[in-house]
Chains A and B, each alone.
Chain A
């Protein structure tokens, strides 16, 4: 989108815009609102984290339980994000490149996790896999641990992040159509070759965009993971859960130190996301071009 405001040379120019004073007031309200609602919490996280000096800030990360929380968070994201990439590519290939019955239903179902409370997303896995759940007795007999263990945390994370990659790719691939793939196939390229050398380059920035948001949610998910984790220290606590524990123990400096790390991740996510929107606007889905 062009940044230049359209200037109307005629006298009507002033009548389709607001007066300078009105503009100023509206901008001031918007800035004040965003600063109070969004910026203040972000600033507070870092301020509280460093309140007792950098030494105490970094001391928080020598706690073995916190370190194991960092490791678990990275592990969960390392499983959930690639799974969502493969799913997102498969779903968008089927939906964008073909016409078939039930496509709209499929689109609706993919978006389903977005309209479900994170707590309910965790609850469904409890009902399936906990000791009193459907598969509970069978899992126990075979010594498989899902709930209150890493597999449950991974499942809950995959559930809540499920739509992220797919919903970035589908609108873009739909707008790109199938002509380039058809040309490649007609010229003798194989299906996989076409996918890797024609389709993938066309969607790489949108894919990165989706992965970015997916990863942010995967590392930061709280509600769903909280339900299935069991909060076993040093074992099934992810970073957000560790923050909760530290906070509830009134260990505020450590809680905000860990929170700062996640807030830093959020900032990096926002910066890369904005760069993608500015530089590769035409290669992202239409709704992302602002």
Chain B
């Protein structure tokens, strides 16, 4: 690896006086391979060994399709709700001074810190027909727990910090000068917000949406208690994987997992593409 040549254009790494490159990179790559890459490769190989006909048969099973539709649909709705409220919360936290602002700021990260099973039983307790909110909703003829609505609620809980925490730093960095300029040029406040501020935070909002969505699609612990897990109705895809595993149907579990991974990566890929395209179009970094 060590080359005395001054031109290092073709070399693996640029020369440096700092030691420890081989040890650090070697350990990092070995650990990454052993813990993450090889196990994931096992999943891919297993999926490939199933054969296309059998793969499609399992993937298009009505129960599997219903679970995938619920997981992706509920994740999409929850991420959309989180975009609206997440941007609003970020805006309030960055722009306004009020008592308890720091407490509110700290609380936003609760879903990162609270174990999903704890959130799950708490949400189930709140929204179950005999829980405080569930009972109230019942009076109006609503059922929250054990329906897709319950799934969406749990996913809103889990995804909120992703949007707030990606939008917040970008909002903080906006120069107030450009808003002042817009106002001086005669733009109304609403026009300034929609045509000056929103385009600025748009990429961050999209990233937040993608992160919240990706997390929500695979979420398990906070959902299964409130969902009631009725097949074809409120059974999410990760739970169906667990059920297949309990039946020792490893092929079934592998197929659902691969479809989930492929769809999730495809969506992230599209998001990245849209974002790159937007950056080029708007010309901001």
* A232 contacts the other chain (CB 8 A): no
Asked whether B122 lies within 8 Å of A41 as measured between CB atoms, the reply is yes
Asked whether A266 lies within 8 Å of B113 as measured between CB atoms, the reply is yes
Asked whether B180 lies within 8 Å of A109 as measured between CB atoms, the reply is no
Contact with B along A145-167 (1 / 0, CB 8 A): 00000000001001100100000
Asked whether A259 lies within 8 Å of B238 as measured between CB atoms, the reply is no
State in angstroms the CA–CA spacing of A155 and B18 once bound together: 32
Query: Which residue of the partner chain A has the closest CB to B41?
Result: A124
Partner of B169, one of A109, A223, A286: A286
State in angstroms the CA–CA spacing of A88 and B176 once bound together: 37
Asked whether A117 lies within 8 Å of B219 as measured between CB atoms, the reply is yes
* A59 contacts the other chain (CB 8 A): no
Give every chain A residue within 8 A of B276 (Cβ-Cβ): none
| B40 smallest CB distance to A (angstroms) | 6
Give every chain A residue within 8 A of B126 (Cβ-Cβ): 40-41, 44
Contact with B along A218-247 (1 / 0, CB 8 A): 011111001100000000000111011001
Question: Assuming A34-B89, A123-B43, is B24 touching A90 (CB within 8 A)?
Answer: yes
Contact with B along A130-158 (1 / 0, CB 8 A): 10111000000000000000000001001
State in angstroms the CA–CA spacing of A76 and B225 once bound together: 24
Give every chain A residue within 8 A of B39 (Cβ-Cβ): 124-125, 127-128, 159
Query: Which residue of the partner chain B has the closest CB to A216?
Result: B113
Give every chain B residue within 8 A of A178 (Cβ-Cβ): 16, 18
* B42 contacts the other chain (CB 8 A): yes
Asked whether A5 lies within 8 Å of B97 as measured between CB atoms, the reply is yes
Asked whether B180 lies within 8 Å of A12 as measured between CB atoms, the reply is yes
Give every chain B residue within 8 A of A239 (Cβ-Cβ): 115
Asked whether A106 lies within 8 Å of B29 as measured between CB atoms, the reply is yes
State in angstroms the CA–CA spacing of A73 and B258 once bound together: 30
State in angstroms the CA–CA spacing of A157 and B92 once bound together: 36
| A125 smallest CB distance to B (angstroms) | 6
Measured as residues with beta carbon below 8 angstroms from the partner, the interface class of chain B is 35 or more
Asked whether B97 lies within 8 Å of A3 as measured between CB atoms, the reply is yes
Asked whether A120 lies within 8 Å of B261 as measured between CB atoms, the reply is yes
Asked whether B265 lies within 8 Å of A222 as measured between CB atoms, the reply is no
Question: Assuming A29-B88, A38-B110, is B184 touching A223 (CB within 8 A)?
Answer: no
Contact with B along A108-119 (1 / 0, CB 8 A): 011011111111
Give every chain A residue within 8 A of B169 (Cβ-Cβ): 286-287, 289-290
Asked whether B254 lies within 8 Å of A1 as measured between CB atoms, the reply is no
Give every chain B residue within 8 A of A75 (Cβ-Cβ): none
* A72 contacts the other chain (CB 8 A): no
Query: Which residue of the partner chain B has the closest CB to A242?
Result: B117
> Which of B51-59, B140-148, B241-249 touches A?
B241-249
Chain B binding surface, main DSSP class? helix
Asked whether B97 lies within 8 Å of A31 as measured between CB atoms, the reply is no
Question: Assuming A5-B97, A100-B25, A266-B118, is B91 touching A48 (CB within 8 A)?
Answer: no
Partner of B112, one of A182, A216, A286: A216
B81-135 interface (Cβ within 8 A of A): 85, 88-89, 91-98, 100, 102, 104-126, 132-133
Asked whether A191 lies within 8 Å of B20 as measured between CB atoms, the reply is yes
State in angstroms the CA–CA spacing of A89 and B217 once bound together: 31
| B1 smallest CB distance to A (angstroms) | 10
* B21 contacts the other chain (CB 8 A): yes
| A218 smallest CB distance to B (angstroms) | 10
Partner of A120, one of B32, B114, B239, B241: B241
* A282 contacts the other chain (CB 8 A): no
Partner of B108, one of A5, A15, A34, A213: A34
Interchain residue pairs A-B with the least CB separation, the first 6: A117-B218, A220-B115, A100-B13, A222-B221, A223-B220, A124-B39
With A48-B122, A247-B124 known, 12 other A-B pairs at CB within 8 A are A30-B85, A30-B89, A40-B133, A115-B265, A120-B241, A124-B39, A126-B253, A239-B115, A241-B117, A243-B121, A269-B113, A273-B113
Listed in ascending order, the chain B residues whose CB lies under 8 Å from chain A are 12-14, 16-21, 23-25, 27-29, 31-32, 35-40, 42-43, 46, 85, 88-89, 91-98, 100, 102, 104-126, 132-133, 156-157, 160, 165, 168-169, 172, 176, 179-180, 183-184, 189, 192, 214-215, 217-221, 225, 238-239, 241-242, 245, 248, 250, 253-254, 257, 260-261, 264-265, 268
